[in-house]
Structure 1
């Protein structure tokens, strides 16, 4: 590791592999501990189910104990699996833009919104999704950080753990401004664009969203809801179609 002493043998955990690789390795190695913990919880569930069955005079109390144990084990397994699956984008096992694009189309398509994926202005900016609909226009990007990275705001600034987040926020704000300028110029329709960042892994504040430094960071499942919360219609069907056709023509696919 950088700055380490030449007289002290370095721990192999800190050399040669990515955090994602080690995360998966430790997860696999911890499987036995998780099984032991699950068995203990299931045993407690069995006792609770058995005692409750006796308390209410139910027949076959042992059967109720087994059902309670199975339910506890299943819930515990699901919680563990969901925690691991939530890191899939960060680990490179899934693509964030595919997940968010699917969510946007499923939630917004029936409400008159159009979603264009992977668009760019040559030598200026690129984004994962451009959303155009009655409530306005949005650019949506996707990012992922390690599961223990706290995403927060202090003094009006964005932080990822102990690191400033301006390098993440500023390009997305710039992309939104560049796209808005292009669409306004080419269509004659005044466009302002709100930048959103779908966070696939990392610790957002309670509620799953955060607005700071000109962007809104939120969980992917909340992006479409945030867009639909715009109550005042800005564009009619003809303007939406004009903006979407112009964006498809003028913006490069990436």
Structure 2
């Protein structure tokens, strides 16, 4: 139609533009759902992103640590701006994530079990690290969303947890500090976290 109404060159240009936009849309859908399609939750992808971003900016990242009595923490981020416990979840591409009245809904259903487990894990980690380091700390729970359909405005907070795609979540963490730790304090807290949150349930001796 564009070629008939204007000229052939304009018609070809519009066709290429439409084809490019269609390819981009399908690529973004494919990319957003590839973690879920592989049967993963997203830890490996988030690990790589954290290493390339926050770890290079003076943050300490602990991977796959155990919070005794509360399961595994995918990643624990210790930085000048505070501590964050990162949980990863991948949902089907057509699953809708929303929040109403401060609560999380997935496909219209509340997620009480998920949010209860994640927040309890973060609270327990904070107690253990505080006891070990002698520095009162707060661990904020955040959830990296892989797949699913998110609200237009993200990150968003629901049930005390911040939700976002991985890169937006890191952007939010850097711009929303809850503490002001020195480099020495970051190292001290990170060492305490290594001892308090073992790998695979192995408790490290205090002398390590």
TM-score grouping bracket, smaller chain normalisation = 0.7 to 0.9
Structure 1 residues 49 and 196, CA, compared in 2 at 3 Å: closer, same or farther?
Answer: farther
Q: Quote the RMSD (CA, aligned, Å).
A: 2.1
For 2:87, the equivalent position in structure 1 comes to 141
In terms of mean alpha carbon deviation, does 202-211 or 63-72 score higher?
Answer: 63-72
Runs of 4+ in 1 over 4 A off after TM superposition: 49-52
Structure 1 residues 172 and 232, CA, compared in 2 at 3 Å: closer, same or farther?
Answer: closer
CA contact (8 A) 2:41 2:146 kept: no
Structure 2: stretches of 5+ with no match in the other structure:
201-208
For 1:48, the equivalent position in structure 2 comes to 2
1:1-254 equivalence runs, <5 A: 47-48=1-2, 62-92=8-38, 96-231=42-177, 233-254=179-200
Structure 1 residues 50 and 185, CA, compared in 2 at 3 Å: closer, same or farther?
Answer: farther
Structure 1 residues 156 and 227, CA, compared in 2 at 3 Å: closer, same or farther?
Answer: closer
Give deviations 1:72-128, integer Å, cap 9, x for gaps.
213312211221221111112665111112222222123211111111123333111
CA contact (8 A) 1:130 1:137 kept: yes
Structure 1 residues 84 and 225, CA, compared in 2 at 3 Å: closer, same or farther?
Answer: same
In terms of mean alpha carbon deviation, does 178-187 or 210-219 score higher?
Answer: 210-219
Considering Cα pairs closer than 8 Å and 6+ residues apart, tell me whether 1 or 2 has the greater RCO.
2
CA contact (8 A) 1:204 1:210 kept: no
In terms of mean alpha carbon deviation, does 197-206 or 172-181 score higher?
Answer: 197-206
Give deviations 1:121-142, integer Å, cap 9, x for gaps.
2333311110000000000010
Structure 1: stretches of 5+ with no match in the other structure:
1-46, 53-60
Structure 1 residues 212 and 94, CA, compared in 2 at 3 Å: closer, same or farther?
Answer: closer
CA distance in 2, matches of 1:160, 1:153: 9
Q: TM-score, normalised by structure 1?
A: 0.71
CA contact (8 A) 1:172 1:195 kept: yes
CA distance in 2, matches of 1:93, 1:145: 10
CA contact (8 A) 2:2 2:10 kept: no
Structure 1 residues 231 and 213, CA, compared in 2 at 3 Å: closer, same or farther?
Answer: closer
CA distance in 2, matches of 1:183, 1:160: 32
Aligned-pair CA distance for 1:159: 1.4
Q: TM-score, normalised by structure 2?
A: 0.86
